[in-house]
Amino acid sequence: MSRREGWGSFEVGWRPSSGTTRCQDTIRISLGTAQLQIMVELIFHLQVTTGITFGVLVMRLLPPFLHQHFHHHHRQPNHTLRKMAQLPPLPEVTPLTPSITRILAGNPSRFTLQGTNTYLVGSGPNNRILIDTGEGKPSWIAALKSFLSNSSATISKCIITHWHGDHVGGIPDLLSAFPNVKLYKHRPDYHNPSNFPFLDIADGQEFEVGGGGRLKAVWTPGHTEDHMVLQYFPPSSSLPSSSQSELFTGDNVLGHGTAVFEDLASYLTSLSKMKILATGKAYPGHGPVIEQARDKIDEYIRHRKQREDQVVQQLRQYPEITAVGSEKGWTLMGLVRVIYKDVPEALHLPAAGGVVQILKKLEREGRVRVVAEGDGGMGEEDSPSGWRGKGEVFLDRKRDA
């Protein structure tokens, strides 16, 4: 990706996410109000294809003057950084159960909460399994080595929940310290520029854990295409019921707030699958232990449904409301300004990513149609997976009861 910063524009070379047939080599964006919508769409596709958190992309791609405004706004005491400061602190190393220990990756931020959680699963000297590796902070590998040394234990396997940098960044340090560890990840070649020697994980594959118990890997795309959760069946004496299990949720469900996702339809399907799997506690990729996993997953599903209902409700109000939307239909940013009217305007841009996903889902379902500016319709190659958020959005009243 190439970038040229300036006071009013920048250039980015990019490709849309897989599933589209068109490729645009370079886009020059002037930061006028009419162009912010295109900028949102560009950032969204970059998130999907690079995996960098949406907000991080906003911070990295905005020209200096807007970057400073955005950064300054986040420093206000009533916004995100204050909320992050209010998160309960988590110890660097926490034995959660006799067979589960959480080791923080040492990378707290507004996007990673208290930091990425990595987990050691198992007991006894052999066959401990590590889940995720953080982003490569020296404090993490030091804490991991110290804990294992004090426990007279070793790691046999490391399972990666998904390919994002704050989960795979510690792999070089891990392999340096424990060269015999086997690395596992679903779709080993998917977003693996460092060519880590991953072994594939099949959906439903099981791993025996030291001290008894087992981990079952379940493919749950949504946050990323390769995302896996791990259902844990501890030794039967560890839980009230031998049929009860616990769930390592990766980044599909967090200990605080809600998660970002690449594909809303896949994400909702995965949440429903996870709800069936989660009969006890959940151990998220970020944030504290979730005591009632099913309740939390239900909360996530309700939240996504509420957001979808908000979008549909605004589309139903056309043409009565035209002050925010265009005179023909609703634009993406018009919807965002209404749905997120109680959210600081500086956060509308990153919030638009979720609205894009809702509109793409509704379009796949035939409930909305998007009319691109200038041609009055969309080419077949643009719909639905290649929808770019340009033009007006209409509710298809024939299909939306």
Tens of pLDDT, residue by residue over 219-273, are 999 999 999 999 999 987 555 554 589 999 999 999 999 898 999 999 999 999 9
Length of the chain: 401
The one catalytic residue in 132, 166, 173, 226 is 166
Active site residue 166: yes
User: What are the structural domain ranges in the chain?
Assistant: 9-75+317-395, 87-299
User: What is each CA distance from 327 to 83, 258, 334, in whole angstroms?
Assistant: 38, 34, 11
Q: Does domain 87-299 have CATH number 3.40.980.10?
A: no
pLDDT score of 332 more than 60: yes
pTM: 0.73
Tens of pLDDT, residue by residue over 277-321, are 989 999 999 999 999 999 999 999 999 999 999 898 888 876 444
pLDDT score of 117 more than 90: yes
